Amino acid sequence: MLYTNLKHLETAEDFKKAVSENENVMIICGRMGPMCIPVYEIAEELENEYSHVSFYDMDFDNPASSVLRSLPETYGFMGLPFTFYFKNGKVVKATSSIQSMDQVKTILNSEFPVAVKA
């Protein structure tokens, strides 16, 4: 159980729906641990600024999180949280362990640029 203000993914179906219905998705898969909490907080803070990105979390200890844990991008990952960035249903970036606000923003800006209106 994650005590965050992010939208929670509870089942594999939730996950499929999230990445198929939204173009840009960030999912943080972790526990309520010291390396995870700062990343949830960063996502909570960026939700308004990055309205074109959908932010979710998923409990690492929920068996359904195997949809994320078994992704090939997690090879070598040994630090929580596992954070995934999906574009049109495909993983475009994944990180392991704590990240700073600047690191998260850099990824969001490069992977999910806002279309410039002509």
Partner 1 sequence: MDTGNHYDTIVIGGGPAGLTAGIYLSRARVKTLILNEGAAGGQMVLTHEIANYPGVETISGYQLSAIMKKQALSFGCKIRSNISIAATELYGDIKKITLSDGSYYTSDTVVIASGGRPRMLGIPGEDELRGKGISYCATCDGDFFTGKEIIVVGGGNSALEEAVSLTKYARKVTVVHQFDHFQAFEYAVREAEDNPAINFLMETVVASFDGQEKLESVLLKNLRTDELTRLRTDGAFIFIGYVPNTEFLRGVIEMNSSGEIIVDDHMATSIKGVFAAGDSIVKRYRQVTTAVGDGTIAALAATAYINEMKMQRKETAVI
- Binding residues vs partner 1 (CB under 8 A): 31-38, 41-42, 45, 75-80, 95-98, 101-102
Residue 96 and residue 108: Cα distance in Å, rounded?
Answer: 16
Tell me the closest approach of the beta carbon of residue 16 to partner 1, in angstroms. 26
Q: Cα separation of 100 and 114, whole Å?
A: 21
C-beta of 18 vs 82, nearer to partner 1: 82
- Inter-residue contact 32 to 61 (CB < 8 Å): no
Cβ nearer to partner 1, comparing 3 with 118: 3
The partner residues of 30 in beta bridges, in order of sequence, read 59
Q: How far is the CB of 13 from partner 1 (least distance, A)?
A: 27
